[in-house]
């Protein structure tokens, strides 16, 4: 088994397209997004057999900072990634090369975000789920399948004068303003606008922005991306001041309608922690939890990492961040969050 770095996007994507378990984030274009938006070094590993046939891939990103340490992730910022293999030999070869890469770049661990279990007996976490909604054949059937409370919230948004618009880069500014304000309120450093610009530009045919408008102002917005039969909303935000008008409900209903019209069979609400508020919001739409499997390659004696907002040592930082002006968070956030996977 030969494992080497791949720089051939067509060969990579051809293999990804051949695997039924492939996800959106296995596509080679996400390498371009990460490198352009964050400047991280990426290592896209490809395994080939004795006939030079591709039999496995593993996209890795190296993240390094004094605050959070040095580690590899597949893929950071997104829900999925990890190994994609046609054979067990390919998986073993990719894991072996990844362990070597840990030493070469001075990383403490590698985090492999899998949608399905690998069966490789790796140390793992199963603290997150992704919420998937099986879509009906048409919007009318989907509407009837919704919980009555959800339908009432959508109607309330419409009666309150909220409207929606679907577009692309021309809606980015409004999306980003809402996103920045929401992240500040959550106490989370905000991504740079360049991340979202790159996503839209690298995948122009499979991305859209949906914005909810009130009196000419964007009060909620989400970025949609899709692959095969699944449409996902990896980023969605609304302004807290108008929450009683239910802009989030209208946003997600319009996103679901768009997905059905686009031919999607599944709507991915994104990852959540079971029992928390976002989990309950997604559950009310009929979405069902699907376990995520985050596997780790660790240095000898190392413990599983705890790089998440629930870690008590980050509580003070979150509280302080929530008090900052939004304009300040736009300046300070991107250099910090670029190293938070």
Residue 266 has what DSSP assignment? E
Q: Report pLDDT for 320.
A: 75
Residue 168 has what DSSP assignment? S
Q: Which of 300, 287, 13, 318 is nearest to 142 (CA)?
A: 287
Placement of tokens 């580690």 in the chain: 71
Q: Report pLDDT for 247.
A: 97
Q: Are the CB atoms for 282 and 267 separated by under 8 Å?
A: no
User: Nearest-5° angle of CA 32, CA 9, CA 112?
Assistant: 65
The domains found in the chain, sorted by start residue, are 2-126+293-305 (3.40.630.30), 130-290 (3.40.630.30)
Peptide bond into 75 cis (omega under 30): yes
Residue 242 has what DSSP assignment? G
Q: What whole-number distance in Å separates Cα of residue 196 and Cα of residue 205?
A: 14
Look up the pTM and report it: 0.93
Beta strands in 126-265 (DSSP E): 129-134, 163-167, 207-214, 217-227, 230-238
Placement of tokens 């661990």 in the chain: 109
Q: Report pLDDT for 313.
A: 58
Rounded alpha-carbon distances, angstroms, from residue 291 to 32, 279, 322, 341: 28, 13, 31, 19
Q: Report pLDDT for 329.
A: 82
Q: What whole-number distance in Å separates Cα of residue 5 and Cα of residue 31?
A: 13
Q: Report pLDDT for 308.
A: 62
Per-residue pLDDT of the chain (341 residues; tens, 9 = 90+): 899 999 999 999 999 999 999 999 999 999 999 999 999 999 999 999 999 999 999 999 999 988 788 999 999 999 899 999 999 999 999 999 999 999 999 999 999 999 988 888 899 998 899 999 999 999 999 999 999 999 999 999 999 999 999 999 999 999 999 999 988 888 888 999 999 999 999 999 999 999 999 999 999 999 999 999 999 999 999 999 999 999 999 999 999 999 999 999 999 999 998 888 889 999 999 999 999 999 999 988 777 887 665 555 566 677 776 777 888 787 877 888 887 87
């Amino acid at each position: 088994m030969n494992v080497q770095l791949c720089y051939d996007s067509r060969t990579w994507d051809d293999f990804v397209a051949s695997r039924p378990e492939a996800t959106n984030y296995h596509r080679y274009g996400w390498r371009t997004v990460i490198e352009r938006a964050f400047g991280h070094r990426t290592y896209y590993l490809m395994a080939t057999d004795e006939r030079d046939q591709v039999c496995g891939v593993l996209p890795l990103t190296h993240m390094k900072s004094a605050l959070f340490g040095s580690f590899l992730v597949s893929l950071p910022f997104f829900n999925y990634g990890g190994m994609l293999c046609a054979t067990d030999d390919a998986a073993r070869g990719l894991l072996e090369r990844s362990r070597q890469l840990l030493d070469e770049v001075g990383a403490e661990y590698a985090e492999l975000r899998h949608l399905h279990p690998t069966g490789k007996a790796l140390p793992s976490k199963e603290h997150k789920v992704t919420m998937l909604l099986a879509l009906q054949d048409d919007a009318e059937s989907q509407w009837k399948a919704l919980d009555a409370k959800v339908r009432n919230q959508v109607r309330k948004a419409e009666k309150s004068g909220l409207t929606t618009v679907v577009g692309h880069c021309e809606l980015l500014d409004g999306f980003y303003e809402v996103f920045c304000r929401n992240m500040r309120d959550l106490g989370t450093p905000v991504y740079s606008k360049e991340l979202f610009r790159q996503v839209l530009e690298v995948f122009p045919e499979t991305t859209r922005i949906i914005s909810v408008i009130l009196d000419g102002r964007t009060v909620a917005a989400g970025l949609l991306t899709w692959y095969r039969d699944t449409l996902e909303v990896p980023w969605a935000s609304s302004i807290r001041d108008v929450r009683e008008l239910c802009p989030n409900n209208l946003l997600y209903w319009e996103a679901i309608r768009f997905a059905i019209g686009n031919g999607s069979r599944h709507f991915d609400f994104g990852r959540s922690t079971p029992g928390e508020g976002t989990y309950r919001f997604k559950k009310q739409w009929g979405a069902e939890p699907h376990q995520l499997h985050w596997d780790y390659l660790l240095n000898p004696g190392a413990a599983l990492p705890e790089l998440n907002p629930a870690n008590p040592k980050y509580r003070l930082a979150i509280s302080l961040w929530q008090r900052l002006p939004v304009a300040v968070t736009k300046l300070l956030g991107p250099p910090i969050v670029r190293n938070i996977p």
